[in-house]
Amino acid sequence: MSTVALSGIAKSYANFVALNGVDLTVPEGEFLTLLGASGSGKTTLLNVVAGMISPDRGIVSIGGRDVTHVPPRQRGLGMVFQSYALVPHMSVFDNIAFPLRIRRMASAEVKSRVEKILDIVQLGHIAHRKPRELSGGQQQRVAIARCLVYQPPVILMDEPLGALDKKLREQLQQEIRRIHKEMGITILYVTHDQEEALYLSDRICLMNAGEIEQLGTPQELYFKPANAFVADFIGESNLLACDIVAPGRVRLDASGQDIRIAQDTSGTANRLMIRPDKIAVLADGESRANEICGQIEEIAFVGETMRLTVRSGSQAFTVKAPTSRSADRKLGSTARIGWEPQDALLLEAKS
Which residue lies nearer to ligand ADP by CB, 24 or 120? Answer: 24
CA dihedral 112, 114, 120, 125 (to 10 degrees): -100
Tell the smallest beta-carbon distance from residue 43 to ligand ADP (Å): 3
Confirm if 228 and 350 have CB atoms less than 8 A apart: yes
Which residue lies nearer to ligand ADP by CB, 57 or 116? Answer: 57
User: Which of Mg ion, ligand ADP, none is residue 18 near (CB under 5 to 8 Å by kind)?
Assistant: ligand ADP
Tell the smallest beta-carbon distance from residue 184 to ligand ADP (Å): 27
Enumerate binding residues for Mg ion (CB under 5 A).
Answer: 43
Which residue lies nearer to ligand ADP by CB, 158 or 343? Answer: 158
For Mg ion, the nearest residue by Cβ is 43
Strand partners, 272: 240, 346
Residue 270 per-residue DSSP state: -
User: Which of Mg ion, ligand ADP, none is residue 173 near (CB under 5 to 8 Å by kind)?
Assistant: none
Amino acid in the structure at residue 22: V
User: Which of Mg ion, ligand ADP, none is residue 191 near (CB under 5 to 8 Å by kind)?
Assistant: none
Confirm if 231 and 239 have CB atoms less than 8 A apart: yes
Which residue lies nearer to ligand ADP by CB, 42 or 75? Answer: 42
Residue 278 per-residue DSSP state: G
User: Which of Mg ion, ligand ADP, none is residue 13 near (CB under 5 to 8 Å by kind)?
Assistant: ligand ADP
- Cα(213)–Cα(206) distance, rounded to whole angstroms? 6
- Cα(74)–Cα(3) distance, rounded to whole angstroms? 16
Enumerate binding residues for ligand ADP (CB under 6 A).
Answer: 13, 16, 18, 36, 38-44
List the strands of the sheet with 258-260, edge to edge: 258-260, 249-252, 238-246, 271-274, 344-347
Which residue lies nearer to Mg ion by CB, 43 or 139? Answer: 43
Which residue lies nearer to Mg ion by CB, 43 or 214? Answer: 43
Tell the smallest beta-carbon distance from residue 200 to ligand ADP (Å): 17
Tell the smallest beta-carbon distance from residue 233 to ligand ADP (Å): 13
Half-sphere exposure of 220 (CA within 13 A, CB side): 12
Q: Reduced to 3 states, what is the DSSP secondary structure of residue 347? A: strand
User: Which of Mg ion, ligand ADP, none is residue 351 near (CB under 5 to 8 Å by kind)?
Assistant: none
